[in-house]
Amino acid sequence: MRRILRGPRPEVVPTLIGRACAVVGLLDIAAAVFPRFRHSRMHTMVEVLPGSFGPFVAALSLSAGVLLLLLAHGLRRRKRRAWRAAVVLLPAGAAAEFGYRHSVIGVVISLALLAPLLMHRKEFSALPDPRSRWRALTNFVLMSAGSVALGMLIVSTHPHRVVGNPGLADRLTHVLYGLVGFEGPVDYQGNTSWTVAYSLGALGWLTAVTTAYLAFRPEHPAARLSEEDEGRLRDLLARHGRRDSLGHFALRRDKAVVFSPSGKAAVTYRVVSGVMLASGDPIGDVEAWPGAIERFMDEAKAHSWTPAVVGCSETGGEVWTRETGLDALELGDEAVVDVADFSLAGRAMRNVRQMVKRIERAGYETRVRRIRDLGDAELERVRRAAEDWRGTDTERGFSMALGRIGDPSDGDCLIATAHKRDDEPGEYGDLKAIIHFVPWGPDGASLELMRRDRSADPGMNELLIVATLQAAPKLGVERISLNFAMFRSALARGEKIGAGPVLRAWRGLLVFLSRWFQIESLYKFNAKFQPRWEPRYIVYRASSDLPRIGFATMQAEGFVDLALPMPRFLRRRRAARTACPHTITERDVRAA
């Protein structure tokens, strides 16, 4: 992979304060949970006094510690609300340290963190993230699991004060009862029973309160592309859409957009797990790109999102790195076929030629048309077939997927279909496979999705791609972008004679990962059509952000789904509005 430019490091002060907050939170938890950690002469005296408020303060210390741990990530991201909560919790934790352990050191540590937090308050000005009430359910599950684990630790850290010899089931029952405020089967000597009870009650209270807060707070839904913004983007694509094959995918309606001050350029993006993820190059006039990029970076800074761009061209990568100081790495190559140069003749195309002829002899025929040329009944049949033939339970695609088929505003899209006249037509008649292309300027097309009936013969993808390339001149199409092959150059160089041990090892790792991700298979599939390869880049702020960006990209593309699955009949209702179809399924590639 090739690096373009070295960029700046992210903000240091919020990161250090966030880490210090996590350490203080752990100390507060330890002070409340472990008897030896909180042992002192004053503590021993206070704990046995009648009417002692030690159990209450232990619960306060535990609550403050857990909340500080939860806030640490928000502080690292400069969130204003996390700063406000930490300013309140640190004195509370210090009071608990002194009231329960009578520890001057614990008080000093908490107040020592409070001082820089107040000094650098201007650093914490980031706005809230897009959010929904799904996060309340996630919080409930994670907090419940963490409370049970921490509760088991609390119940088990007093072995010398336990009455009898309770088993694991009794301890677990005691924790579950304690989380909801009831007395469990485990009993302790002295005041320890109250300390354990209040600590477990505090954990249950935290789980309930944080879940209720997330469930009932006002939603800040992820931005959607408005009709006005979509119209402005279409005007830019009409004038400058020929420059980037991914330009039309900016019209996905689950993206937000920022425009340059002149309105002549725009950057579309989606926020995923705190990553502000753009794809492809900016839309519009290259001269106006810096203005749109500046607006993008301002938005990322205002919300403390991690900026990232996936799949930009070399020109786009150079502009991004020059204007922002970010880094860029070569991620892979896009396969582009020039229609005038394509031919099935020659030894290199022998396998494709033989497969296409074999399928044609089996009785298949193809049709390549603009979406606007399909009738309503046929278009509806195509939509339903594409939904049912999807290879995964979740829709996939972000950087090279439009998310819809047959929208009235997408009449210029191309669709290639394969048909077979059977004696017994299936649910979708004689339709057996679909390939959908979006416009790439006035004379190009870019592959968006491929779907086929499971009962269809292997080779449907080759058949339809060849049919599209052969019909392209009549449709005014001069070039077709097939797909993106991640790490193509490493795979290609690693299998050549003379490749070094490092390159061979890297290729071996990619081949191994291809068992789960279509890396090698997608490269070999695209290579069948003898394309030219156009490099694509990922733009990022710091090397430490790459794992997070990679995970966010996998979420956006649909390879990782953290939400609960939606019933299939509901997914079908929403397909025309919010679906995000993938480009090629692993099954499609294997069949090819």
Render pLDDT for 139-188 as a digit per residue (tens, 0 to 9).
Answer: 888 888 988 988 888 888 877 788 888 888 888 998 888 888 888 888 88
Most confident of 7-11, 33-37, 523-527: 523-527
pTM, to two decimals: 0.72
**Cα Rg, the chain, nearest whole Å:** 30
Residue 149 CB contacts under 8 Å (≥ 6 apart), including other chains: none
* Residue 491: partners with Cβ closer than 8 Å, 6 or more residues away: 485, 507, 510, 511, 519, 520, 523
Tell me how far apart the alpha carbons of residues 419 and 385 are, in angstroms, rounded to a whole number: 13
Tens of pLDDT, residues 55-99: 777 788 888 888 888 888 888 888 888 888 888 888 887 887 676
> Tens of pLDDT along 479-503?
999 978 877 777 776 776 667 777 7
Q: Which of 401, 402, 417, 440 is nearest to 369 (CA)?
A: 417
Point out which residues pair with 431 in neighbouring strands: 419
Q: Whole-angstrom Cα distance, residue 142 to residue 262?
A: 46
What's the pLDDT score for residue 581?
36
Q: What is the DSSP string of 326-373?
A: -EEEEEEEEEEEEGGG--S-SGGGHHHHHHHHHHHHTTEEEEEEEGGG
CA distances from 49 to 39, 46, 569 (A): 16, 5, 63
Q: Which residues contact 454 (CB under 8 A, 6 or more apart)?
A: 389
Torsion angle of C-alpha atoms 521, 523, 528, 529, degrees rounded to 10: 140
pLDDT of residue 131: 66
451: nearest Cα among 462, 435, 465: 435
Q: What is the mean pLDDT of residues 121-142?
A: 77
Q: State the pairing for strand pair 306-312/275-279.
A: parallel
Map tokens 């997927």 to a residue: 401
Residue pair 536/334 in contact (Cβ under 8 Å)? The answer is yes
SS3 content of the chain, % helix, strand, coil (to 5): 55, 15, 30
- Collapsed DSSP state (helix, strand, coil) of residue 183: coil
The average pLDDT across 247-256 equals 90
146 vs 546: CA distance, rounded Å: 28
Question: What does the pLDDT average to over 500-522?
Answer: 73
- Coil/strand/helix, residue 553: helix
